Chains A and B, each alone.
Chain A
Amino acid sequence: MRILTNSNASVDLGGGEDGSRTPLWHSDRCGAATTLRLSGDWTARETGVRTASEVHRILDDAGATTLRIDTSDIGAWDSALIAFLTMLRDAAANGTTRIDGSEAPEAARRLLALTATSLETIDEEKPPISFLTRIGEAYYGALAEAVEIAALVGNTALRAAAAFVRRCQTRAADVAVLVREAGPGALAIVAVVNCLIGAILAFVGAMQLRKFGAGIYVANLVGIAVVREMAAIGTAIVMAGRTGGAYAAHLATMQGNEEIDALNVLGVRIFDFLILPRVAALVAMMPLLYLYGAVTGLAGGFAVSLATLDLTPAQFIGQLRDALDLTQFAIGLTKSVCFAVLVALAACQIGLKAGRSAAAVGHAATSAVVAGIVGVIALDAIFAICANALGI
């Protein structure tokens, strides 16, 4: 007769302070039969879960005997007991011990039976993907994306042309709502950002130009920089973060709710119904916001210049009028239209391609903002090169 028990073993007791009794097992080998007597409370939250090593100790000790499970002394039990019995059963399946669980509580046996039957088998996991396969997939993925982007730009041009002859499924009401969100809603933040950019330019310029006694030229610096570059870029970046992110999140959520599928089933052109209104709203609003941003930027520069240099308002404005001509505004306006198309298309494309989960919506919004900001700056660099080549 051999006796094995966990009563002296270090047991993870979880917390037995609320009157729970320690779960004990007591294995008693006698001839060809071993009795495993369970007592105490076998509740997962209060008294923890028995480990696989305990199960193996019991089975090693029982050897090639029949292990009879006696639960007559057991107190409260829940999953912890079922987990223990399941481990015992599964481990014994590969060994020599036979388990006799017929005396376990009826409810426990039903639960145990439930774990034995798997409702369905899951098809096996995919084979590991080699490094070369990954490179190939990335290459084809990039290629497909380039084609998709080209198709999107082409589609925009074609459908926009169709919109002018009133042969598209865009709803004017949608455009109106989107215009309101993209335009008036952005006035405050565009003003703040551009005013600060103008002020910073004037401050830095004034510090440097004053050394050469050329403080008056700060008006040229602020004027050209704000009107030609900063108002267009600053406004576009604000809109990429504000409106681009919203477009991507909105379309990604629609994707998750099967709203886009519903439109597709009806045969509504997703492009006309969802993308074109957004592109139109942003293209309509961005140039206006650019002009507004340029004015606030110049105002910021004007205020700082007067505060830091010995200039009169008339001197500054006179100098500004000499520096600026309509060409500068034309360049800025052209850029802002292109930025609007870029931000809106990138956001819509990313939103429509998003997955169907909550995490995918967040990912789509992030990607749209990043793509919008990086795209705007890269496009601006291209504009700078072209303008240089054309000598304007």
Chain B
Amino acid sequence: MTNRSISEWRLEVRNLAVSYGTRSIQHDLDFSVRPRSIFAIMGGSGCGKSTVLRALVGLLRPAAGAILVDGEDYWAADETRHADIGRRFGVLFQSGALWSSMTVAENVALPLRMFTDLSNDAIGILVGLKLSFVGLAAAADRMPAELSGGMRKRAGLARALALDPEVLFFDEPSAGLDPITSRRLDDLILELSHGFGATVVIVSHELPSLFAICDDGVFLDAETKTAIAHGSPRSLRDHCDHPTVRAFMDREQLVAAPAGGLPS
């Protein structure tokens, strides 16, 4: 939607290695994210998905390799440039990460107050708009502690959208939500990313939402500590023969098959 130059890849990850101290989490990761695609980082619990996400959003310096944002090396940029690039990202953390001492509206307004020259009225209009996108306009003056888990996530999403980001990162968006709420959140992510033309990177192991919304992805393995498959969740489900990927993808069938066979 914006007229900023659109390169072939929005994000490129080259030989990325992430580690905590000397403990290696993932290494030799290579993948690229097309603009406006919804990209999944998949893998079992503890394989380092969230750690890779921390490197992508700028919270954890990679041990090796590069992350290119529109062709520009994110981690090699100086501090101001690094922050500038980071401001083009919107991040939804696992439990919303709302600032607990501010109301929902103040949470969404903070990025606008800090990083734009907009007037209070303009900020008020934009905050109202972002909250109405996620269906929380009526909860603007609530404190985060008064919200349910799903509402907190949606408020977090409104805050992630505050600066009209080009790339949206989601860390386990459906974790802790019931299937209906999680489905609604998926639809919302889909609508918003299409509407704004944003690129979306999702870290998840929730198969239904991966199949429903993602059109590309990478599968991380905990054993070999690197990527073992590339492609959309659906194509990995249908065509990938790697035993780890199969075990991961078939879990749903294992659960679904007996349920379907039971008399209702």
Whether B194 lies near A110 (C-beta < 8 A) is yes
Indicate if A14 sits at the interface (CB-CB under 8 A): yes
Whether A14 lies near B117 (C-beta < 8 A) is yes
Contacts of B194 in A (CB 8 A): 107, 110
Within 8 A of A (CB), among B1-57: 1-4
Q: How many residues from A make CB contacts under 8 Å with B?
A: 40
Indicate if B122 sits at the interface (CB-CB under 8 A): yes
Contacts of A115 in B (CB 8 A): 129, 132-133
Closest B residue, CB atoms, query A363: B101
Whether A110 lies near B191 (C-beta < 8 A) is yes
Number of CB contacts from chain A to chain B under 8 A: 109
Whether B101 lies near A41 (C-beta < 8 A) is no
Whether A359 lies near B137 (C-beta < 8 A) is no
From B138-146, B225-233, B244-252, the one touching the partner chain is: B138-146
Contact of B117 among A15, A76, A80 (CB under 8 A): A15
Indicate if A103 sits at the interface (CB-CB under 8 A): no
Whether A76 lies near B1 (C-beta < 8 A) is yes
A356-B197 Cα distance, complex, nearest whole Å: 37
Contacts of B143 in A (CB 8 A): 357
Contacts of A51 in B (CB 8 A): 121-122
Minimum CB–CB distance for B190 against chain A, Å: 10
Indicate if A45 sits at the interface (CB-CB under 8 A): yes
| Category for how many chain B residues contact A | 35 or more
Indicate if A385 sits at the interface (CB-CB under 8 A): no
Indicate if A83 sits at the interface (CB-CB under 8 A): yes
Whether B100 lies near A82 (C-beta < 8 A) is no
Whether A82 lies near B129 (C-beta < 8 A) is yes
Whether B135 lies near A120 (C-beta < 8 A) is yes
Closest A residue, CB atoms, query B146: A122
Within 8 A of B (CB), among A191-246: none
Indicate if A172 sits at the interface (CB-CB under 8 A): no
Whether A79 lies near B130 (C-beta < 8 A) is yes
Within 8 A of A (CB), among B74-109: 99-101
Within 8 A of A (CB), among B112-136: 115-119, 121-122, 125-126, 129-130, 132-136
Whether B145 lies near A355 (C-beta < 8 A) is yes
Q: Which of B116, B125, B184 has the most CB of A within 10 A?
A: B125
Whether A78 lies near B164 (C-beta < 8 A) is yes
Contacts of B154 in A (CB 8 A): 119
Contact of A111 among B2, B117, B126, B133 (CB under 8 A): B133
Indicate if B195 sits at the interface (CB-CB under 8 A): yes
Indicate if A86 sits at the interface (CB-CB under 8 A): yes
> A289-300 interface mask toward B, CB cutoff 8 Å, 1 = contact, 0 = none?
000000000000
Q: Which of A52, A79, A355, A356 has the most CB of B within 10 A?
A: A79
Within 8 A of B (CB), among A20-61: 41, 43-45, 48-49, 51-52
Closest B residue, CB atoms, query A80: B126
Whether B3 lies near A118 (C-beta < 8 A) is no
Contacts of A111 in B (CB 8 A): 133, 191-192, 195-196
Minimum CB–CB distance for B134 against chain A, Å: 8
A87-B117 Cα distance, complex, nearest whole Å: 21
Whether A107 lies near B196 (C-beta < 8 A) is yes
Within 8 A of B (CB), among A78-137: 78-80, 82-83, 86-87, 105, 107-108, 110-111, 114-115, 117-122
Indicate if B163 sits at the interface (CB-CB under 8 A): yes
Contacts of B135 in A (CB 8 A): 117-120
Indicate if A381 sits at the interface (CB-CB under 8 A): no
Contact of A358 among B101, B126, B197 (CB under 8 A): B101
Contact of B191 among A41, A43, A105, A114 (CB under 8 A): A114
Minimum CB–CB distance for A114 against chain B, Å: 5
Contacts of B116 in A (CB 8 A): 14, 44-45
A199-B2 Cα distance, complex, nearest whole Å: 71
A75-B3 Cα distance, complex, nearest whole Å: 7
With contacts A14-B117, A79-B164 taken as known, whether A359 is within 8 angstroms of B129 at the C-beta atoms is: no
Minimum CB–CB distance for B93 against chain A, Å: 14
Contacts of A78 in B (CB 8 A): 1-2, 164, 196
A110-B138 Cα distance, complex, nearest whole Å: 21
A358-B1 Cα distance, complex, nearest whole Å: 38
Whether B137 lies near A118 (C-beta < 8 A) is yes
Minimum CB–CB distance for B189 against chain A, Å: 11
> B148-169 interface mask toward A, CB cutoff 8 Å, 1 = contact, 0 = none?
0000001000000101100000
Whether A114 lies near B195 (C-beta < 8 A) is yes
- Enumerate chain B interface residues (CB-CB to A < 8 A): 1-4, 99-101, 115-119, 121-122, 125-126, 129-130, 132-139, 142-145, 154, 161, 163-164, 184, 188, 191-192, 194-197
Interface pairs (30), CB distance under 8 Å: A41-B3, A44-B164, A45-B116, A45-B118, A49-B118, A49-B121, A49-B122, A51-B121, A51-B122, A75-B3, A76-B2, A76-B3, A77-B1, A77-B2, A79-B161, A79-B164, A83-B126, A87-B125, A107-B194, A111-B195, A114-B132, A114-B133, A114-B191, A114-B195, A118-B132, A119-B134, A119-B154, A122-B138, A357-B100, A357-B101
